[in-house]
Structure 1
Amino acid sequence: MFAKGATLIQWLEEWVPKSIAVPDDRIGLQLGTLQKEIKNVMITLEVTDAVIDEAIARSVDLIIAHHAIMFRPLKHLQTDTPAGHKYEKLIKHDIAVYISHTNLDIAEGGVNDMMAQALGLQKTRVLAKTGEEELQKLVVFIPKAQEEEVRSAIMRAGAGWIGSYSHCSFNLEGTGTFLPESGTQPFIGEQGKLESVAEVRMETIVPVAIRNQVLAALKKAHPYEEPAYDLYPLKLEGKPLGLGRVGELSETMTLRALNDQVKTAFGLSMSRVVGELDTPVKKVAVLGGMGARYLSSALFAGADVYITGDIDYHTAQDALEAGMTLIDPGHHAEEIMKAPVAAYLEKRLAASKFSSTNVLVSETKTDPFQFV
């Protein structure tokens, strides 16, 4: 059984919702349709001409990439240009392209957490805040006999977190009344007869980003034909969302040793370093992609070293004068996203028994730089 493209993207957006991306980011479906069965979906950092050739050779129906294939608005679609030729090949072979960029950077477990984890950083927090998790209060009325079953389903779906505490709820017992009208099939009671039932009013917190999956779990577990529930907006501050991470190494090491660790973690032969190689470092800021503009955030966070790509000459000078060391692993270090995104989709496919859809990881080298 094949999953549809829309289903795969729904799952992806439950993890990395488009709503958390920075404004005007080029994300979402950029080419093709998601309203088709997907035999093969391929994960890549970016969609180059060589990646498209790989996708064609591997019979790919959908490409999920981190970097936009259409970064600027199109003024024309001429197929004799490099960009136009790529679009032509994708359309001719019915390959859709979906982009998950800063939402994948910002999300919990996303690119910046992947990079921090690869470096063994501990006690991590957001480097540059872009927003905060929006929360709602869910109130649901459950028959007393099914209380635990429904509560457990809601919590497994991701509701009930307050800070580091999970399964948080408030429960109040009372009496629910209802009258099943014609055409109903009541779980409790009879058509045309007013019914009174011992019920529990359960209140819990739900992040808006996962509200739909929590409600789906509620409705599946609840015994009533029409579960009664309410959603209320909250003014509470949710988890901070943002680009980059700041954390600590398990032990102090030299800049040279950390640079060796960076090269190993991101599969690099070379990297650029700013600062004395014997400088001791402990607190680390990391941001995938081009992060020069967030140097001040790294300084404010008290980082000893800032790891990010595409560092320009003047940013390097500013860092030196401020007493901060830098490691530039290149923009391509974000390629670390490919395997985890593939693993996430494989897990969702297996859980939903879509055994015929395959998730592929692109094997094409897309880094335009080489060291000679």
Structure 2
Amino acid sequence: MTELTVGHIRHILDQAYPPALAESWDKVGLICGDPAASVEKVALALDCTQEVADRAVELGVDMLIIHHPLLLRGVTSVAADEPKGKVIHTLIRGGVALFSAHTNADSARPGVNDKLAELVGITPGRPIAPRHLDAMDKWGVQVMEKDAHHVKRSLFEAGAGEIGDYRECSFEFNGTGQFRPVGDANPTEGSVDELFRDLELRVEFVAPRRLRAHLLEVLRSAHPYEEPGFDIVEMPTTTPLETAYGLGRVGQLPEPMRLSDFVQQVADQLPATVWGVRATGDPDQMVSTVAVSSGSGDSFLDDVRRLGVDVFVTSDLRHHPVDEYLRAGGPAVVDTAHWASEFPWTSQVQELLEDQAPELSVDILNIRTDPWTMAAKPQA
């Protein structure tokens, strides 16, 4: 039997929750640990607090898998007398690797949002904000013939021009380009205040949309002009919206139900927290179409309003965005604790690892890392 390593577990998780699905600001993957280190026991949690790290070491686990990245925001020190540094030192001294799957797990199928959708009673359908890994752009770049080879080579090495099993795919044709440099321009060809005309090639190629920002950097670096001429056309995607990756989910309840009953259903199905669940809307309103977004979801309020759902389940909602959303005619909202909407994902990861690596011991650390620990109402 092949010995499992941190690298093996990372591969399983990357297959289930592709890193390419992570939002641009996110930091996902292996946080600490040796990919070659052996793994026999894994623990799962939503956050890596000091309590969670201590428990993982106490239980003798080899790898801790979490949702929220420990080092999401920049740090300049992981000294042992700093909070995050203390966690890192605890894990390394205890021989525990740390791995995070965050917004990539939110967008994956199945992922965090699918688990939340199932718990509130809907079959997860389309995302609120689709992410298409197969989305492609068609580029057109104008360049003088003498510079075309260098520009194309740079773009191809950065991932452009790949179609199936073919590489360096492009189409080009001749044309005449012109420009008049003015002001502080420093033209590679021509002179300031004089109209310049010359033969150029138009080079066309395709590239994954996820590489767009990187390819723009490569193009500006490789092209000899101060302002290269180019255009980008988004090509239609081939993935059906109902099965697309992306943040949030929309689905139908098996039968319409009163909003108040639905809110109670959400409260009953999610892990308990001190402050529970709160909601807006008419308690007697009948609801059937539901949108969910695990974690902080107020950035999707406008999207949800346009989707025509009856109720939106999410977390971390603030006064003013919700007030403006309701004034604009938005549907009812159910606001849950952030931790409660995402912690059930750990059971999904447990099932994944038990299926992909049955010899592995996988435990969920049932530590409530919701930061709110008290709630009070006025006494009668």
Normalising by structure 1, what TM-score? 0.69
| Residue identity matched to 2:356 | R
Shift of 1:128: 1.1
- Going from structure 1 to structure 2, the CA distance change for 1:59 and 1:134 (only over 3 Å counts) comes to farther
State the partner residue of 1:263. 267
1:367 alignment partner, one of 347, 350, 370: 370
Cross-structure match for 2:86: 85
2:115 matched to 1:111?
no
In structure 2, the partner of 1:328 is: 335
Residue 275 of structure 1: which of 265, 271, 281 is its match? 281
Matched, 1:349 2:357: yes
Deviations 1:171-201 (A, max 9, x none): xxxxxxxxxxxxxxxxxxxxxxxxxxxxxxx
Stretches of 4+ aligned residues off by more than 3 angstroms: 132-135
Instruction: Give, in whole Å, the separation in 1 of the partners of 2:352 and 2:107.
Output: 16
Unaligned runs of 5+ in 1: 136-233
Matched with 1:319 is: 325
SS of aligned partner of 1:343:
helix
Aligned-pair RMSD on alpha carbons?
1.9
> Counterpart in 2 of 1:200?
none
| C-alpha contact (below 8 Å) 1:319/1:325 kept by paired residues | no
What are structure 2's unaligned runs of at least 5 residues? 137-234
Partner residue in 1 for 2:66: 65
Q: After superposition, give the CA deviation of every residue in 1:284-336 in whole Å (9 maximum; x if it has no partner).
A: 11000001000111111101111100000012202321332110111112001
After superposition, where does 1:1-372 map in structure 2 within 5 Å?
2-122=3-123, 124-133=125-134, 237-239=238-240, 240-268=244-272, 270-323=276-329, 324-332=331-339, 333-350=341-358, 355=359, 357-370=360-373, 371-372=375-376
Structure 1 residue 120 displacement after superposition: 2.2
Which residue identity does 1:58 align to in structure 2?
Answer: L
Structure 1, 36-45 or 235-244: larger mean CA deviation = 235-244
Distance in 2, Cα, partners of 1:131 & 1:318: 30
**Is the Cα–Cα contact under 8 Å of residues 248 and 291 in structure 2 kept in the other structure?**
yes
Shift of 1:122: 3.5
Distance verdict in 2 for CA 1:257–1:122, change over 3 Å: same
Change (3 A) 1:268 1:365: closer
SS in 2 for 1:3: coil
Give CA-to-partner distance per residue, 1:28-74, whole Å, 9 cap, x none: 11112221101211111110111011101110111111000111122
Give the C-alpha shift of residue 235 in structure 1. 7.3
Higher relative contact order (CA 8 A, sep 6+): 1
1:226 alignment partner in structure 2:
none
Q: Equivalents in 1 of 2:124, 2:39: separation in Å?
A: 39
The DSSP-based 3-state class of the residue aligned with 2:357 is helix
CA contact (8 A) 1:47 1:65 kept: yes
Equivalenced residue count is 269
Q: Compared with structure 1, are the counterparts of its residues 306 and 38 closer, same or farther at alpha carbon in structure 2 (3 Å cutoff)?
A: same
The separation in 2 between residues aligned to 1:340 and 1:118, in whole angstroms, is: 12
CA distance in 2: counterparts of 1:257 and 1:236, whole angstroms:
39
The two structures have a TM-score, normalised by structure 2, of 0.67
- Cα distance, 1:94 vs. partner? 1.9
Partners of 2:9 and 2:33 in 1: CA distance: 15
1:363 to partner: Cα distance: 1.9
The answer to whether the 8 Å contact 1:133/1:241 transfers is no
Once residues 39 and 253 of structure 1 are traced to their aligned partners in structure 2, the CA distance between those partners, rounded to angstroms, is 46
Percent identity at matched positions? 30
How far off is 1:124 after superposition?
Answer: 1.6
Cα shift readout 1:234-281 (whole Å, capped 9, x = no counterpart): 975224321000111112212211111101111235212122322221
